[in-house]
Structure 1
Amino acid sequence: MQKPLSRLTMRQSDERGALFMKQYFLPLCIRSDAHSQFPVGDTPALARDNGAVLRFGASTERSTPPMRWIRRAAALLILALTLTAEASATGQPSLAPMIARVGPSVVSVAIQTEGTVDDESLLNDPFFHKFFGLPEDATQVRQALQTTGSGVIVDASQGYILTSYHVVENASSIGITLANGDAYAATIIGTDPDTDLAVLKIRADGLTSIEMGESTELRVGDYVAAIGNPFGLGQTVTLGIVSALGRAGLGAANYENFIQTDASINPGNSGGALVDLDGKLVGINSAIIGPSGANVGIGFAIPITMAKGIMTQLIAHGEIKRGQLGTIIQDNNFDLAAALAVDTAAGAVVSEVVPGSPGAKAGIIPGDVVVAVDEAAVRNAAELRNMIASYPPESVVRLSIKRPKESLTITAKLRPLEAAKEPAPPASVEGEGLLSLVTLTAVGPESDAYGKTQGAFVAAMSDRSRAAAAGLEAGDVVVSVNRKDATDPQMVVDLAAASEAPLLLGVFRDGHVRFLVVK
């Protein structure tokens, strides 16, 4: 019977270490005088790999190895001893100790919302609709819906939990289940849809906070583990690597700077922890790309460096207040860098500066290339946008800027970011008399005449109207009535009402004014 791995003897562990030395350490001490190929079977001191062909030196004469080989061999020796010691204790290298430490900090989130679902009861049958006099569209009923997600305890003493906004959006009630099975009701402290983050609070003793890491120190290829509650199964751990950094343009949030990973992230993982091999929090699991919402090896997490700033503001104020520089920016590239005579293709190029904005007051001009904010490097326009938005209003930031043959630092004081407002639809005026069945509005961007002339834009009209019979068309701009200039819709209607038939309309169409007679 094969012995369990956990019962490996010290002798077996030593044998593993000796085998490692034989396979990897000693070959590095062999001098490489020339290169030729040997089947593994012809070199008994070297590793066997199912008949693979490896390259080694032609001579096996012992000699003093170069210093670089000594350093490399020493590193491998340390690794061998480490693995041997680990094998002695657990039988194989494992993330179990780290997961055991981090697991209590990751929670499951259950959300109840009110929604409508198809009514599959017997009364939904058309026969019963008719029999009971029910409306034909009575096919949906309102009921409580339950979904699941994940969260991370970031402050055990206060009971604060960081999660994804879309997990708790429209929640009527929120329940938290700890790793040990204890359940608590949660309240929302604050949310930020623009970054897809939210902070919850529970009242409980004996909680465990997760240790914060630094996502800025991550490199592509670093190992990470995703911990969460996929499909409501309970706490689950998956392992992968950092596949990419600084992902944006996914449409998952307004401010995006995602960590991409191939660690499996599935529905229910959102709001959970992405940790490094030390168990430090480096990201909040947020989104996936895949058919039907299932994982295909492409998952995304919000960097903890970004999330910490949002979390701090939500805890302090319950909302996010963002600063604004007042510039229009675009990505830099090699062609722009050459045209602007700057020595870098990184950063964000300022294409426009809003008059009176903090950027204008600070002296920023079109063509400036912003390469750093408070000494933190800026790689592209999205990164600069995210950085500026992470500062509250009235913050003073130092911008490192490149100009032709010049590098300088500019200090700007940010103003509050104003919420984007939908342009109000232009007020419409209904024509009277000879202009009956014609709807007029102010000249707006939808018109070719916008910025070229004033008058009344024909937004809609009936084919049965007198104006239509005279040749007036939707999209025309009426600029005069009986040779009197009209600058807005109401003026056109008033002039028409005060005039006797026929009406002589000056109409702007295709860049020119023509006359139409309405009678």
Structure 2
Amino acid sequence: MKKVILLSLLTFTLVYAKEGVEFKYAPQTIEREHPTSQNRILSYNNVLENVRTSIVNISVKKEVSSAGLSANPFYNDPFFREFFKGYGQVPQERIEQSLGSGVIISQNGYIITNNHVIDGADEIIITIAGDKKEYEAKLIGKDEKSDLAVVKIEAKNLNAATFFNSDKVKVGDVVFALGNPFGVGETITQGIVSATGRNGVGIVEYEDFIQTDASINPGNSGGALINSAGHLIGINSAIISKSGGNVGIGFAIPANMVTTVATSLIDSGKYTRAYLGVNIADVDSDMSSFYDNNYGALITSVEENSPAAKAGLKRGDLIIEVEGKKISSASELKNTIGSYAPSKTVNLKYLRDKKISSLGIKLGTSENKTVDGVYEYKGMKLSEISTAERQQLGIKTNGVLITTVDEKSEAYKAGIRKNDIIIQVENSEITSLEDFKRLSTSKEKKRLFVYRRGSIYAVVL
């Protein structure tokens, strides 16, 4: 017996306006064109065969500790490690393995992948389609804000991917996702570009994703998204899914962002973004009416002594264009400024009192600066403690909250961890992010007093 599921049953009455409805019809002479026949097979094999050896599988090994005293800074002292033996609290070390993908970007062995694929890895092993050799890779640099990283293997004459200008990618373009999903081996899936310029997804700090329905699954991270000509348009990064499997919503980092970040990582081992010094917000339709129905990035505050302050920008200005590029949202301005090198002078257009003005601004560097309420300092990211965070984490003290810590930073080695709170620097108590910034400007090492779950300890940074 067949089971029929009715998705919906609608009863409606069509009411015509007095003037009637004039429907728009397609021409009756349209003919179907058959792209193939029984004597021909439609195939992208020639394109894919050339690009498949540009894709690599990445196997990562990392040593991790089980929960316990490993988060306590005193555990770094050998005496305390010995003292706690026998009490069942000494963390056990174990080797964790994971799989991902990468793309060869140069003949001499540079490979681009996602930061989350290699983050914290003690060993990175690369294998290439058609090559039985395993290569041990060296980490060249990583940028967690865009989720990109570059590694290198000792090899020559590799098949480097051909990059495509991702600004020219169009919705509806046929694309292929290449990678190593679920560790089953080299796999290719097909789809189309569903959207471009996707941001606000909440995956990383700088988002300008290409969205696709080509199947992207765990293990595809760091792999290639290519067009039907075999050119790289993006690096597969993430999916939206309740089950963990593909549901047709995948995201790739656009090729233009990849080349910008990768070049800097190869040259200097890090990517330092330009800094404008403003907090910004989107405008809705009501707010847009105050700016002659323009949209852009609304300045909500200007940091003192920042490039924006020196140029004369003010709260309430609406930035609508940077270097000839139209700005329609706060995230678009953030991505645009972040794509420039520090010290670059850019031309910026803005609306103030219904008048469009333009000016040149020499951008600063984002290192040790507050960007969107987050201050970066020696491998840590710090922010003010919100009411929601106080309730969620049970915080009952003043200070600044550590939101992330780079595992290879001096701060991490000193025992500082995510969700710790810095409450004092030397002899001065901290009540705000401005307090911490003021007291941490010199390069001399200082005593930091840190609050964690009811206890206070001190470190030197």
Quick one: structure 1 residues 410 and 205, their matched pair in 2 at CA, closer, same or farther if it must change by over 3 Å? same
Report the Cα offset of residue 326 of structure 1: 1.0
Quick one: structure 1 residues 398 and 290, their matched pair in 2 at CA, closer, same or farther if it must change by over 3 Å? same
Q: Which amino acid aligns with 1:190?
A: G
Report the Cα offset of residue 292 of structure 1: 4.5
Q: 1:154 aligns with which of 85, 92, 105?
A: 105
Q: 1:261 aligns with which of 212, 222, 226?
A: 212
- The higher radius of gyration belongs to 1
Report the Cα offset of residue 248 of structure 1: 2.3
Structure 1 Cα separation of the partners of residues 162 and 41 of structure 2: 26
Q: CA RMSD in A?
A: 2.9
- Cα deviation, 1:458-484, whole Å, max 9, x if unaligned, reads xxxxxxxxxxxxxxxxxxxxxxxxxxx
Report the Cα offset of residue 445 of structure 1: 6.4
Task: Please state if 1:243 is matched with 2:241.
Answer: no
Q: Which amino acid aligns with 2:304?
A: P
Quick one: structure 1 residues 444 and 153, their matched pair in 2 at CA, closer, same or farther if it must change by over 3 Å? closer
Task: Please state if 1:367 is matched with 2:365.
Answer: no
Structure 1 Cα separation of the partners of residues 189 and 344 of structure 2: 40
Q: Which runs of 5+ in 2 are unaligned?
A: 1-21, 68-84, 369-374, 383-399, 401-421, 434-461
- The answer to whether the Cα contact below 8 Å between 1:342 and 1:404 also exists between their aligned partners in 2 is no
> Aligned residue for 2:141?
190
Task: Please state if 1:95 is matched with 2:44.
Answer: yes
Quick one: structure 1 residues 328 and 87, their matched pair in 2 at CA, closer, same or farther if it must change by over 3 Å? farther
Higher helix share: 1
Q: Which runs of 5+ in 1 are unaligned?
A: 1-34, 37-53, 58-68, 119-133, 430-440, 447-519
> Aligned residue for 1:129?
none
Structure 1 Cα separation of the partners of residues 285 and 26 of structure 2: 41
Report the Cα offset of residue 136 of structure 1: 7.0
Task: Please state if 1:164 is matched with 2:114.
Answer: yes
- The answer to whether the Cα contact below 8 Å between 1:265 and 1:295 also exists between their aligned partners in 2 is yes
> Aligned residue for 1:387?
336
Structure 2 Cα separation of the partners of residues 443 and 99 of structure 1: 57
- Cα deviation, 1:463-513, whole Å, max 9, x if unaligned, reads xxxxxxxxxxxxxxxxxxxxxxxxxxxxxxxxxxxxxxxxxxxxxxxxxxx
- The answer to whether the Cα contact below 8 Å between 1:248 and 1:257 also exists between their aligned partners in 2 is yes
Structure 1 Cα separation of the partners of residues 244 and 200 of structure 2: 18
Structure 2 Cα separation of the partners of residues 111 and 174 of structure 1: 5
Structure 1 Cα separation of the partners of residues 128 and 247 of structure 2: 28
Structure 2 Cα separation of the partners of residues 301 and 256 of structure 1: 10
Quick one: structure 1 residues 407 and 201, their matched pair in 2 at CA, closer, same or farther if it must change by over 3 Å? same
- The answer to whether the Cα contact below 8 Å between 1:363 and 1:410 also exists between their aligned partners in 2 is no
Report the Cα offset of residue 262 of structure 1: 1.4
Q: 1:178 aligns with which of 106, 109, 128?
A: 128
- Count residues in correspondence: 344
Task: Please state if 1:114 is matched with 2:114.
Answer: no
- The answer to whether the Cα contact below 8 Å between 1:342 and 1:402 also exists between their aligned partners in 2 is no
Structure 1 Cα separation of the partners of residues 121 and 56 of structure 2: 17
Q: 1:226 aligns with which of 168, 177, 183?
A: 177
Please report the TM-score for the alignment, with normalisation by the length of structure 2: 0.68
Report the Cα offset of residue 148 of structure 1: 0.8
> Aligned residue for 1:376?
325
Structure 2 Cα separation of the partners of residues 206 and 199 of structure 1: 18
> Aligned residue for 1:288?
239
- The answer to whether the Cα contact below 8 Å between 1:154 and 1:209 also exists between their aligned partners in 2 is yes
Structure 2 Cα separation of the partners of residues 428 and 328 of structure 1: 30
Structure 1 Cα separation of the partners of residues 127 and 219 of structure 2: 13
After TM superposition, list the pairs within 5 Å mapping 1:122-137 onto structure 2. 135=86, 137=88
Structure 2 Cα separation of the partners of residues 443 and 112 of structure 1: 39
After TM superposition, list the pairs within 5 Å mapping 1:483-494 onto structure 2. none
Quick one: structure 1 residues 443 and 281, their matched pair in 2 at CA, closer, same or farther if it must change by over 3 Å? closer
Matched position secondary structure for 1:359? helix
Report the Cα offset of residue 209 of structure 1: 0.8
Task: Please state if 1:336 is matched with 2:334.
Answer: no
- The answer to whether the Cα contact below 8 Å between 2:272 and 2:367 also exists between their aligned partners in 1 is no
Report the Cα offset of residue 185 of structure 1: 1.2
> Aligned residue for 1:278?
229
Q: Which amino acid aligns with 1:110?
A: S
Matched position secondary structure for 1:309? helix
Structure 2 Cα separation of the partners of residues 138 and 362 of structure 1: 56
Structure 1 Cα separation of the partners of residues 141 and 292 of structure 2: 43
- The answer to whether the Cα contact below 8 Å between 1:246 and 1:259 also exists between their aligned partners in 2 is yes
- Cα deviation, 1:249-282, whole Å, max 9, x if unaligned, reads 3332111122221111111100000111111111
Quick one: structure 1 residues 295 and 136, their matched pair in 2 at CA, closer, same or farther if it must change by over 3 Å? farther
Report the Cα offset of residue 215 of structure 1: 1.6
Q: Which amino acid aligns with 1:235?
A: E
Report the Cα offset of residue 402 of structure 1: 3.0
Report the Cα offset of residue 56 of structure 1: 7.5
Report the Cα offset of residue 233 of structure 1: 1.2
Structure 2 Cα separation of the partners of residues 111 and 99 of structure 1: 26
Q: 2:93 aligns with which of 142, 156, 181?
A: 142
Quick one: structure 1 residues 445 and 173, their matched pair in 2 at CA, closer, same or farther if it must change by over 3 Å? closer
- The answer to whether the Cα contact below 8 Å between 1:328 and 1:351 also exists between their aligned partners in 2 is yes
Report the Cα offset of residue 141 of structure 1: 3.9
Q: Which amino acid aligns with 1:298?
A: I
Q: Which amino acid aligns with 2:126?
A: I
**Structure with the larger RCO, 1 or 2 (CA within 8 Å, 6+ apart):** 2
Please report the TM-score for the alignment, with normalisation by the length of structure 1: 0.61
Task: Please state if 1:302 is matched with 2:253.
Answer: yes
Matched position secondary structure for 1:384? helix
